[in-house]
């Protein structure tokens, strides 16, 4: 493992590489308000063992990356996309297999639209297509109404997370337990939840960031215009949409909807998985991602079309 501090405009981003730098590069783009530590070491090592040089990084306002005064210096998804490009530049990577989850799901789609030459393939999970208005979907779910676009809104477990995280807590231990409870809700009802596993991960993330204060800035960023969803019809990057079957934020068939918008995109269901990277899903998830990246590499060599 090695680390690099990357400059992106007026911010500095912490990043870390795993595996052999001679292997095909893979960039992991984390979820909202999450640092690189949200990609568990064990999972990253599985990806590296399958033949990738894996790079993860802290979004701005998380981990060891720069903090921004959002009130006086607001930023948009466009800048988060440029951060991902800066990380590739900082590691001297011309193009990478990009894997995005949650917020990273959105960033991954925008990368394919605005910087397609920087991607060898795209894998997205735990999010929705650019034409989905999630803010409106949450409002509809709260009111008990179906979403206007016909796709399922976030479930009650996700609404419970929003309520949980809005409650004040007293002290570091209470904050830690609240974070563990958040992951229990996001993990979904079907997959067994290991409290200690997620407690260890949160302590690792806290130690990495040097603070118990959980980031919230990404909640303030305006979603990209839903009109950008129509642009996905022009994507040529080989794309895999992974559907976490018990994702409370983007339940089935959100991944299938993404795949219907992107020509040639494939869908892979991940049984039992919620909106979390529980250790029980590491092996099948890593296998699905690397099967996709290897197929994408074969398409480049043979000139074949994605299937």
Contact 17, 54 (CB under 8 A): yes
Taken as a whole, the chain contains a residue count of: 307
Angle of helix 282-302 relative to helix 41-49, nearest 10 degrees, comes to: 30
Contact 27, 93 (CB under 8 A): yes
Determine if residue 43 is left, alpha or beta; phi over 0 gives left, psi from -120 to 50 gives alpha, anything else beta: alpha
Q: Which residues are catalytic?
A: 102, 247, 275
Distances (CA, A) of 82 to 90, 100, 157, 191, 272: 12, 15, 33, 35, 34
Rounded-to-integer distance, Cα 207 and Cα 199, Å: 12
Query: In the beta sheet, which residues pair with residue 213?
Result: none
Count CB neighbours of 263 within 10 A.
14
Rounded-to-integer distance, Cα 121 and Cα 263, Å: 13
In this structure, are strands 96-101 and 25-29 parallel, antiparallel, or unpaired?
Answer: parallel
Between CA 280 and CA 272, with CA 129 as vertex, the angle to 5 degrees is 20
Rounded-to-integer distance, Cα 191 and Cα 157, Å: 14
Cβ burial, residue 186 (10 Å; 0-12/13-18/19+): buried
Distances (CA, A) of 302 to 24, 49, 54, 116, 245: 17, 25, 24, 20, 33
């Amino acid at each position: 493992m090695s680390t690099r501090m990357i400059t992106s405009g007026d911010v500095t981003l912490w990043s870390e590489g795993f595996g052999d730098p001679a292997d095909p590069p893979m960039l992991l783009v984390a979820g909202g308000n999450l640092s690189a530590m949200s990609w568990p070491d064990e999972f990253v090592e599985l990806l590296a063992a399958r033949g990738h040089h894996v790079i993860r990084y802290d979004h701005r306002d998380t981990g060891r990356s720069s903090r921004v005064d959002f009130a006086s210096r607001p930023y948009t998804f466009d800048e988060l996309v440029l951060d991902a490009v800066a990380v590739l530049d900082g590691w001297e990577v011309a193009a990478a297999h990009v894997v995005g989850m949650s917020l990273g799901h959105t960033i991954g789609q925008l990368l394919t639209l605005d910087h397609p030459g920087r991607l060898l393939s795209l894998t997205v999970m735990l999010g929705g297509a650019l034409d989905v208005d999630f803010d409106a979907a949450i409002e509809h779910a709260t009111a008990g109404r179906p979403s206007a676009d016909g796709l399922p809104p976030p479930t009650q477990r996700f609404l419970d997370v929003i309520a949980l995280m809005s409650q004040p807590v007293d002290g570091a231990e209470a904050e830690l337990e609240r974070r563990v409870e958040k992951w229990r809700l996001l993990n979904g009802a079907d997959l067994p939840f290991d409290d200690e596993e997620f407690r260890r991960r949160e302590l690792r993330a806290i130690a990495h960031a040097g603070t118990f204060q959980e980031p919230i800035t990404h909640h303030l960023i305006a979603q990209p215009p839903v009109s950008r969803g129509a642009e996905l019809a022009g994507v040529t990057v080989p794309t895999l949409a992974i559907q976490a079957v018990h994702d409370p934020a983007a339940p089935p068939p959100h991944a299938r909807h993404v795949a219907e918008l992107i020509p040639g995109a494939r869908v892979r269901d991940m049984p039992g998985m919620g909106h979390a990277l529980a250790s029980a899903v590491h092996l099948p998830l890593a296998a699905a991602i690397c099967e996709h990246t290897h197929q994408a590499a074969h398409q480049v060599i043979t000139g074949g079309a994605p299937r």
